[in-house]
Structure 1
């Protein structure tokens, strides 16, 4: 298990689309989970080596979300995600969805790394630590 501090914060810009808006005129709550998935996968794709990106996939195991404020169609929204730690095939993320300085939602999530061919859980190797938890950060 990782004893290292959390990875650097990864910023993922979000475009609010008309289809994200529900009958109450704001972003549907379920859409936030899509944003978290998009942010986590973008984080992996940006930092992991190409061979790891090609050979691994991710499935969500658990999301714990706290909604703070609604988002609307014209909002500039960003998801700030941090890989807190990983252990075996599991990775644990904390994502904050914001509009400027306002926190719209906070999400704690756990993910399972799987082999892209066999679709079985795949251990996240210790060699990945250097990409996600570089020394000095």
Structure 2
């Protein structure tokens, strides 16, 4: 059973992650790229919780969301079996993009922090597209 997406604050959500052996490197700590995977899953589950099916978005509306920029800070290592939370907050909504602030937390400790820009793309033209009003309304009305 998938974990529930819990609202933390306006425009914020929390997604639980357990660190498995496959997530770690030879030193026994989470491999740096896996923090980005954790954040990707949290954003995807957030969209799903809002009722946004990404396959449907592409087939019915010819739109996809893609990462266009990441700024990341690795603050402390996570280790095997750690229970983490990925906190995702929508910082701003542009005409064709969303800016997420994401933190990977172990209890009160922030282990990883990223600012991720997500672009809305017209799948057929492979060009930026305005975020449709029905999606904008979902993102703006989160509580």
1:132 aligns with 2:129: no
Name which of 81, 84, 101 aligns with 2:91.
84
Name which of 21, 44, 52 aligns with 1:41.
44
Offset, 1:52: 8.5
- 1:11-90 residue pairs with structure 2 within 5 A? 11-50=14-53, 53-55=56-58, 56-90=63-97
Offset, 1:48: 4.5
Q: Please identify, of 107-116 and 72-81, the stretch whose mean Cα deviation from structure 2 is larger.
A: 107-116
Higher relative contact order (CA 8 A, sep 6+): 1
Query: In 2, are the aligned partners of 1:62 and 1:110 still within 8 Å (CA)?
Result: yes
**Are the structure 2 counterparts of residues 54 and 127 from structure 1 closer, same or farther at C-alpha, using a change threshold of 3 Å?**
closer
Q: What does residue 97 of structure 1 align with? A: 104
Query: How many correspondences in the alignment?
Result: 131
Query: In 2, are the aligned partners of 1:7 and 1:132 still within 8 Å (CA)?
Result: no
The answer for unaligned runs of 5 or more in structure 2 is 1-8
Q: 2: distance between equivalents of 1:132 and 1:52?
A: 18
The answer for unaligned runs of 5 or more in structure 1 is 1-5
Q: Please identify, of 47-56 and 122-131, the stretch whose mean Cα deviation from structure 2 is larger.
A: 47-56
Offset, 1:69: 0.9
**Are the structure 2 counterparts of residues 29 and 52 from structure 1 closer, same or farther at C-alpha, using a change threshold of 3 Å?**
closer
Offset, 1:75: 0.4
Q: TM-score, normalised by structure 1?
A: 0.82
Offset, 1:22: 0.5
Offset, 1:45: 2.3
Q: TM-score, normalised by structure 2?
A: 0.78
